[in-house]
Amino acid sequence: MNIAFIGLGNMGSPMASNLVKAGHDVTVFDLVESAMQALESEGAKRAESAEAAAKGAEVIISMLPAGVHVKSLYLGRDGGPGLLESLESKPLIIDASTISPEDAREVAAAAKERGVTWLDAPVSGGVGGAKAGALTFIVGGSAEGFEQARPVLEAMGKNIFHAGENGAGQVAKICNNMLLGILMSGTAEALALGVKNGMDPAVLSEIMKQSSGGNWALNVYNPWPGVMEGSAASRDYQGGFLTDLMAKDLGLAWELALGSKSTVPMGSQARNLFALHSAQGSGSLDFSSIQKLYREGE
């Protein structure tokens, strides 16, 4: 298929790369020149703008940081036209960014007015999952759109869920990431407590993995440096899933809770921890660097 891919960051680059490997004709665009060059060397074509990338595309995929970027891409900014306005055909649009359900519904409705199907399809699985083509896609949108998207998503992911109508993909993703934020900070807290009381973090990790405290953060994303080979913690928390993005997702969970009069005491605690960690200068480190917050004064 002829696919336009917009947003080649930590996640978008390996996702676009897997589409190229699956034999799709991929045209990429990012604001960062080096990211486009890397994809070009893998066989993708590069475009000078999102509009140019989308020209002639049957499918457009975007993987951007936050709602503000997604809205400005599709709807325009400062009175300027957005990508939806410039479309000459009716491609299927899949936005894989994590944004608020309201923003997703707003862009989907604007697309529908032009007869274009727009899906919110946030992902789970991290950079490791993106590289391995093993992401979980959580899709919100029409059943027909979901079936149309499935073969494309299968080139980048293993578990493809239809969560419901537009926005439902984001609701499910935000619930998941609130839980992840809680689990990562809880895991970091437990490890710091054990180490302060004489435990080897690797030994403690192994014990908890085989015990009732085992969880995804501990099992595949250990936040203590040196415990897990290849983890973000073992490369000085570079790359991965940034603290600022986790803080954004916990903020989305907070907004969702406010809007639905839900109580999220654990999610609020996690939001405050990641916001504090970001304010202390760790926004661009992987989110597992929350471990550092528990190691101050060591």
Catalytic residues: 173
Part in contact with ligand NAD (CB under 6 A); list of ranges 6-14, 85-93, 200-208, 215-223: 6-14
- The C-alpha atoms of residue 267 and residue 243 are separated, in whole angstroms, by 15
- The C-alpha atoms of residue 289 and residue 268 are separated, in whole angstroms, by 19
Q: Is 185 in the site for ligand NAD (CB under 6 A)?
A: no
Task: Judge whether 82 and 62 are in contact, CB under 8 Å.
Answer: no
Which residue of the chain is nearest ligand NAD when measured via CB?
Answer: 9
Ranges of H-type helices in the chain: 12-21, 33-41, 50-54, 67-75, 83-86, 101-113, 126-132, 143-153, 168-196, 201-209, 216-220, 243-259, 265-277, 290-293
User: For residues 117-146, which are near ligand NAD according to CB under 6 A?
Assistant: 123-124, 126-127
Half-sphere exposure of 22 (CA within 13 A, CB side): 20
Q: Is 98 in the site for ligand NAD (CB under 6 A)?
A: yes
Least spacing, CB of residue 44 vs ligand NAD, in Å: 14
Part in contact with ligand NAD (CB under 6 A); list of ranges 3-11, 136-144, 152-160, 192-200: 3-11
| Per-residue binder mask for ligand NAD (CB under 6 A), 221-260, x = binder | -------------------xx---x---x-----------
Element (H, E) at 248: helix 243-259
Alpha carbon 297 to chain centroid, angstroms = 32
User: For residues 32-91, which are near ligand NAD according to CB under 6 A?
Assistant: 32, 35, 50, 63-65, 69, 73
Binding residues for ligand NAD, rule: CB under 6 A, are: 6-12, 29-32, 35, 50, 63-65, 69, 73, 97-98, 123-124, 126-127, 240-241, 245, 249
